[in-house]
A = this chain, B = another copy of it.
Amino acid sequence: MPTIDPDRLLSDLHTLRQFGAYETGVHRPTFSPEDVAAREWFAERCREAGLAAQIDGIGSVYAVSPAPGPKVLAGSHLESQNRAGWLDGALGCVFALEAARAIAADPDLAGCGVDVAAFCDEEGHFGSFIGSRSYVDLLEEEEIDRLANRYDGTPLRQALARVGLAGRPRVRHEEGRHKAFFEAHIEQGDTLISSDLKIGAVTAIVAIWQYRITILGDQNHAGTTSMARRKDAGLAAVRLLAEIDRRFPALAAERTVWTTGRIALDPGAPSIIPGRAEVLFQFRDADDAVLARLDAELRRLVAEADAAGPCSVSLEVLGQSRPALMDEGLQDAILAAAEIHCPGRAIRMPSGAGHDAQYLARIMPSVMLFVPSIGGISHHWTEDTAEEDIVLGARVFTDAIASVLRA
């Protein structure tokens, strides 16, 4: 079996966390100077490992192995959420690089290789999975023309030009080149850590169904408008959300989650009855039947609220992704490798968060490996994973890839 170098692995992760260091995490938004420096450093590190590395026209790093035989693609992303964790994305990139190095150095795997990818902007500063979608041919030039930074409005084209990537070709997948795609990631939840488990073999990446609920009433004076005469859009929102809260548990599956991320009342003043309310609501599940059931119930509750009046209530779909099923054979490879390094401490589990693997799964057998997140924390600079769990995860990841290459 290939042998990883724990010191090299951890050293690379700690070097990477210096690009945009923020408290104990990182602030490395897509195409910020720190992000660009991290991409260049990572590409160089791939070259030092004998891979041919480039940053392509959408900002992804691709490092390809010169091996003539079977190859696997592995990777994740390098940019971070704002002021967030040091491992979210970075861990999967460095695991891929370490696997590439260990496998290239293993005489038993002569001729086999690992290509390494760091897909750009998985964290969505400009768009939605633009790096992995570009790679699997699901990103049109027209969409790139349209996209802009969601915080400061900078057009994506302008950002690409500023960092010297305008006009560079985008790397697309090469039919038949890879046996599989592997992505390692921190769990971001507490399923593993709370049961003292070490490895998660991901069964599916859940779908996210995102909605905007808009409620229109009448803006009016909060002192002179009787309760009977009001058309209070805020109150209608509260009643609808309370009804969702009552109804969803009975319809949800074990791991379904649903979230109201925003409630905006207009104008939002203490003495004015809100004339308009906007609610962002989403649910996630890996099962199409559950998604369809919740969608139907949401539509029923919205229609009921609209019919009940006095406010009009409408629903707009902002996104309805499909669950992405991970390859069962690849899950088996992860669990078999885990059984060697940490017997009895690995499980199959879905991913509640979206990942690049959901797009790679459309073109080749794909799988994800999760390592434990301390406290289940993510998207915050306190996110962390024990170093021994990182090293263990890299061993299992590399062995699983090796077993696939060898098969």
Interface, chain A (partner B; CB < 8 A) = 187-191, 206, 208, 210, 219-227, 229, 232, 234-235, 237-239, 241-242, 245, 249, 252, 255-265, 268-274, 280, 282, 284, 318, 351-354, 376-380
Beyond the given pairs A225-B257, A238-B260, A260-B274, 12 more chain A to chain B contacts, judged by CB atoms under 8 angstroms and listed by A's residue number, are A220-B376, A225-B376, A227-B249, A227-B252, A227-B257, A232-B259, A234-B260, A238-B241, A238-B242, A259-B270, A262-B268, A264-B268
A223 touching B271 by the CB < 8 A rule?
no
| Contact (Cβ within 8 A) A261 B354 | no
Residue of B nearest to A355 (CB): B223
- Tell me whether chain A's interface is mostly helix, strand or loop, or mixed: mixed
**8 Å CB contact of A188 from B190, B224, B274, B284:** B224
A262 interface neighbour in B270, B318, B376, B380, Cβ under 8 Å? B270
Given contacts A353-B224, A354-B223, contact A260 B235 (CB under 8 A): yes
Q: Contact: A222 with B271, CB < 8 Å?
A: no
* Inter-subunit contact B261/A352 (CB<8 Å): no
Known: A242-B239, A268-B261. A206 touches B189 (CB 8 A): no
Partner of A238 from B245, B255, B318 at Cβ < 8 Å: B245
Bound Cα distance from A232 to B280, whole angstroms: 14
Contact (Cβ within 8 A) B268 A272? no
Whether A376 lies near B223 (C-beta < 8 A) is no
**A to B CB contacts below 8 Å, 16 in the list:** A189-B224, A191-B226, A220-B379, A221-B353, A221-B379, A223-B353, A223-B354, A224-B351, A227-B249, A227-B256, A227-B257, A234-B260, A235-B260, A238-B241, A238-B263, A261-B268
Neighbouring B residues of A261 by C-beta, 8 Å = 222, 234, 265, 268-274
* Beta-carbon contact of A222 and B273 below 8 Å: no
- A242 to B239: give the CA distance in the assembly, Å: 6
Query: In the docked arrangement, what's the CA distance between A255 and B229, Å?
Result: 12
**Bound CA–CA A352/B220 (angstroms):** 12
Which residue, of A237, A238, A351, has the highest number of chain B Cβ atoms within 10 A? A238
Q: Which of B229, B241, B268 contacts A190 (CB 8 A)?
A: B229
Q: How far is the CA of A323 from the CA of B234 in the complex (A)?
A: 27
Q: When the two chains form the complex, which single residue of B223, B235, B269 contacts A284, counting CB atoms closer than 8 Å?
A: B223
Chain B contacts for A255, CB-based, 8 A: 226
Min CB distance A382 to B, Å, is 11
Q: Is the CB of B280 within 8 A of A263?
A: no
A265 and B262 in contact, given A238-B238, A376-B224 (Cβ under 8 angstroms):
yes
Which B residue's beta carbon lies closest to that of A373? Answer: B224
A270 contacts B282, CB within 8 Å?
A: yes
Chain B residues near A352: list those with CB within 8 A: 221, 223-225
Chain B residue nearest to A246 (CB atoms) is B242
